[in-house]
Amino acid sequence: MSGIASVTGYPDRPPTRCGAAISDTVAPLFAVIGILAALRQREQSGAGEWVDIAMLDTSAEPKASSTWERLEDFVREHVQRFIQALLEEEVTELLSAVYAGAQ
Protein backbone atom coordinates (compact mmCIF):
# COMPACT_ATOMS: atom_id res chain seq x y z
CA MET A 1 0.00 0.00 0.00
CA SER A 2 2.86 2.40 0.72
CA GLY A 3 4.62 1.81 -2.59
CA ILE A 4 7.86 0.67 -1.00
CA ALA A 5 7.73 -2.59 -3.00
CA SER A 6 8.11 -0.51 -6.18
CA VAL A 7 11.74 0.21 -5.28
CA THR A 8 12.71 -3.30 -4.13
CA GLY A 9 13.68 -6.39 -6.07
CA TYR A 10 15.05 -6.63 -9.59
CA PRO A 11 14.01 -4.82 -12.79
CA ASP A 12 13.07 -8.01 -14.64
CA ARG A 13 11.12 -9.60 -11.75
CA PRO A 14 8.06 -8.74 -9.69
CA PRO A 15 8.52 -6.54 -6.59
CA THR A 16 9.86 -8.27 -3.51
CA ARG A 17 9.23 -7.68 0.15
CA CYS A 18 11.39 -5.08 1.77
CA GLY A 19 14.11 -6.54 3.98
CA ALA A 20 13.57 -4.02 6.77
CA ALA A 21 10.37 -3.24 8.64
CA ILE A 22 10.13 0.29 7.21
CA SER A 23 6.70 1.19 8.58
CA ASP A 24 7.50 -0.27 11.98
CA THR A 25 10.62 1.87 12.15
CA VAL A 26 9.53 5.13 10.53
CA ALA A 27 6.20 5.58 12.35
CA PRO A 28 7.77 5.68 15.84
CA LEU A 29 10.48 8.01 14.54
CA PHE A 30 7.85 10.41 13.21
CA ALA A 31 5.95 10.05 16.49
CA VAL A 32 9.03 11.07 18.47
CA ILE A 33 9.54 14.08 16.22
CA GLY A 34 5.88 15.03 16.69
CA ILE A 35 6.10 14.61 20.46
CA LEU A 36 9.22 16.76 20.66
CA ALA A 37 7.55 19.44 18.54
CA ALA A 38 4.47 19.31 20.79
CA LEU A 39 6.63 19.64 23.89
CA ARG A 40 8.37 22.65 22.38
CA GLN A 41 4.99 24.19 21.52
CA ARG A 42 3.74 23.59 25.07
CA GLU A 43 6.90 25.16 26.41
CA GLN A 44 6.34 28.28 24.31
CA SER A 45 2.55 28.66 24.48
CA GLY A 46 1.47 26.60 27.48
CA ALA A 47 -1.10 24.80 25.30
CA GLY A 48 -1.11 21.08 24.70
CA GLU A 49 -0.98 19.46 21.27
CA TRP A 50 -2.47 16.30 19.79
CA VAL A 51 0.04 14.08 17.97
CA ASP A 52 -1.59 11.69 15.49
CA ILE A 53 0.68 9.37 13.51
CA ALA A 54 -0.57 6.89 10.89
CA MET A 55 1.75 4.07 9.86
CA LEU A 56 0.66 4.21 6.22
CA ASP A 57 1.23 7.95 6.01
CA THR A 58 4.76 7.64 7.36
CA SER A 59 5.70 4.72 5.13
CA ALA A 60 4.60 6.32 1.86
CA GLU A 61 7.22 9.09 1.94
CA PRO A 62 10.61 7.54 2.75
CA LYS A 63 10.96 5.69 -0.55
CA ALA A 64 13.66 8.06 -1.77
CA SER A 65 17.08 8.01 -0.18
CA SER A 66 17.15 11.82 -0.25
CA THR A 67 14.15 11.80 2.09
CA TRP A 68 16.10 9.70 4.58
CA GLU A 69 19.04 12.07 4.30
CA ARG A 70 16.82 15.10 4.91
CA LEU A 71 15.15 13.35 7.84
CA GLU A 72 18.52 12.41 9.31
CA ASP A 73 19.70 16.02 8.97
CA PHE A 74 16.49 17.28 10.60
CA VAL A 75 16.79 14.88 13.51
CA ARG A 76 20.46 15.64 14.00
CA GLU A 77 19.97 19.40 13.96
CA HIS A 78 16.65 19.92 15.73
CA VAL A 79 16.43 17.05 18.19
CA GLN A 80 19.97 17.58 19.43
CA ARG A 81 19.30 21.30 19.81
CA PHE A 82 16.06 20.54 21.70
CA ILE A 83 17.80 18.08 24.04
CA GLN A 84 20.63 20.55 24.62
CA ALA A 85 18.12 23.28 25.50
CA LEU A 86 16.37 20.97 27.96
CA LEU A 87 19.66 19.99 29.57
CA GLU A 88 20.78 23.61 29.85
CA GLU A 89 17.43 24.54 31.42
CA GLU A 90 17.66 21.67 33.91
CA VAL A 91 21.23 22.56 34.83
CA THR A 92 20.27 26.21 35.25
CA GLU A 93 17.33 25.27 37.49
CA LEU A 94 19.51 22.89 39.50
CA LEU A 95 22.22 25.52 39.98
CA SER A 96 19.60 28.09 40.98
CA ALA A 97 18.16 25.69 43.56
CA VAL A 98 21.61 24.89 44.93
CA TYR A 99 22.49 28.59 45.07
CA ALA A 100 19.17 29.43 46.75
CA GLY A 101 19.71 26.66 49.30
CA ALA A 102 23.18 27.97 50.10
CA GLN A 103 21.86 31.40 50.97
- Active-site positions read 24
- Those residues with Cβ within 8 angstroms of residue 42's Cβ, 6 or more apart along the chain or in another chain: 48, 49
Q: What angle do CA 44, 61, 25 make, to 5 degrees?
A: 75
Phi, psi of 63 (to 5 degrees): -75, -30
